[in-house]
Amino acid sequence: MADGYKGHIDKLDVENYRTWSSKIKFLLTSKDLWNGVKDPVAHPAQSKKALSIIGLNVEDHHLGSIEECKPAKEAWDLLEKTYKSKTNARKMQLRQELHSLKMKSGEPVTMYVGRAKNLYRDLVATGVEMKPDELAWSVLAGLPKTFSILRTILEASESAISSVDAILPKLLVHEQGFEESPKEKGGGGSDSAVAYVAGQKGKEKVHGKDESRGKGPTSAIIGGSLVTLPGSANVMYVPGVAANLISVSKATEVASVLFKENGNCELEVDGEVVPVARKVKGVYVVNRAEKETCFLVKKPETAELWHRWLGHAGYENLAKMVQGDLVEGVGVKPSAFRALKTLVCEPCIMGKHTRLPESDSVSTEPLEVVHMDVCGPMPVASVGGSRYFATFLDDYSKLSVVVPMKQKSEVAKITEQVINRLELQTGKQLKLVRTDRGEKYVNKAFEDVFGGKGTVHEKTAPYSAQQNGSAEGLNRDLKEKTRAMLEDLGLAKELWAEAVVTANYTRNRTPVSAHGRTPWESFLQ
């Protein structure tokens, strides 16, 4: 370009450095001034002119940083250092921006993809290793509902999502078709939406159209009622349906739909045939491709892995859980768990040492007796600043509740919240509470929690922790599992609160009592 270049360049602000730097570099190159930035000593006159152009193309809040810079290179490097930081905080910020990327209303596909590519380049510049398909998945995840059909088709074909450039042409075609559809369908009623309602005699046609807007189907008539969806073009609402529906007619706009005699449905995308649905009870169900997620590692399913995944739960309890069909999705036989009894789990040995005797259970229904205790202070504060955790154990079902807390003085408030929730879940009223004689439980604030309910507060005898052995045993069990998980995964001790909550979560979903059921099942019987 000549010196008379009149193209517009937005001034450098806080979010447009990549675009700004590229345009300024092109501008300086067109004026033969870029050498003044690269080598100001050899080209002092060009450096001065380049510095002037840089200064005139930044917002006022940047002037204080660069006005003291004499060569243009100093100003350029200063801005580059500011916006191309390689610190962990910058990496985290860019990752968060990419993962939360959303296509704005009315934003063209090319502009949306451009924003995604800029974030990708910034991440790579900070030293983060990212595969091209990761960017493609982020772009797909941020698309609005108008792209749901195309997204489903692409997700069913993993090979089609190798990079953003691979899916961009399909996005553009879909965008163009979506923009043209109002013009094509706005004038007549022949293209009105048609749905068929199951569960009624015969088949009832349902038509809907927003005549005032001329933008195609935006309503549905079910049982004589009209439901209008303002601002929702190419969308049909079916009351009572708890799943997304895919329009075959829309799918044909981006692919060829093939229905097979064996009940399968296939799509042909760019010459590649992809099985996308199977017929189940007369309805085609879409096969969703399993996407590999960040930090996800596929491993063979083994009894040892399930032992670790469930917070180092006991092998016999895990065997009973599978044998009694208490859970679904565990592809390991009970015998495999029992076979592990002869092996040594090092994290379990490191985390589990002794166990206090527990008091005998005499209750016959949930919330007849609840044991309470506080464990702590822990050796280090958690990420959230907690040093203690309060435990609640239902004597009958063995359901446990764990709440991390910063100070013991929070016990009364936490107790009120937990008991109210448990009573609401069961419809029963708590009859008896058993605690030790610590100051955290022997005070007016704690007694006020049960003052108007008629709940009996039973305290153990002095120096007789065994009388509340169930609570003590729960604390020890949770601490052992927490230590085992942290040791197994090599995590920082500051994550103890997250680990103890996880240990309690898995405990409530594995059989730990003589009822032959999990604590949750026994509690909500």
Residue 390 maps to a domain: yes
**Domain of residue 336, residue span:** 303-352
Q: Which one-letter DSSP state was computed for residue 462? A: T
Statement to judge: residues 385 and 345 lie in one domain: no
| Helix ranges restricted to H, 10-87 | 17-30, 34-38, 44-56, 60-66, 72-83
| Residues 276 and 252 grouped into a single domain | yes
Residues 46 and 112 in one domain: no
Last residue of a domain, one of 38, 65, 84: 84
- Is 407 inside a domain boundary? yes
- When divided into structural domains, the chain yields a total of 5
Spatial CA neighbour of 332 closest among 324, 342, 340, 322: 322
**Are residues 29 and 141 located together in one domain of the fold?**
no
Whether 118 and 158 map to the same domain: the answer is yes
Is the residue at 256 inside a domain? yes
Q: What is the pLDDT of residue 410?
A: 93
Q: Do 223 and 285 lie in a common domain?
A: yes
pLDDT of amino acid 91: 74
3 state SS of 445: helix
Q: What are the distances in angstroms from CA 452 to CA 394, 414, 429?
A: 21, 17, 12
Give a yes or no: residue 166 inside a domain: yes
Residue 338 sits in the same domain as residue 323 = yes
State whether 382 and 508 are in the same domain: yes
Domain assignment present for residue 126? The answer is yes
Q: How is residue 215 annotated by DSSP?
A: -
Q: Has this prediction a pTM greater than 0.85?
A: no
Same domain for 26 and 138? no
Burial of 462 (0-12, 13-18, 19+ CB in 10 A): exposed
Report yes or no on 360 lying in a domain: no
Q: In terms of domains, do 285 and 402 share one? A: no
Residues 465, 513, single domain; the answer is yes
Same domain, 273 and 162: no
- Whether residue 225 lies inside any domain: the answer is yes
343 domain-assigned: yes
Going from the first residue of the chain to its last (525 residues), give the mean pLDDT of each consecutive group of 10, the final group possibly shorter: 59 76 87 87 87 86 77 83 66 79 88 86 77 84 83 68 82 72 44 37 38 44 48 54 62 66 69 68 62 56 77 76 77 80 65 50 86 92 94 93 94 93 91 91 89 86 75 89 86 92 90 77 85
Q: Would you give the end-to-end CA distance of the chain in angstroms?
A: 80
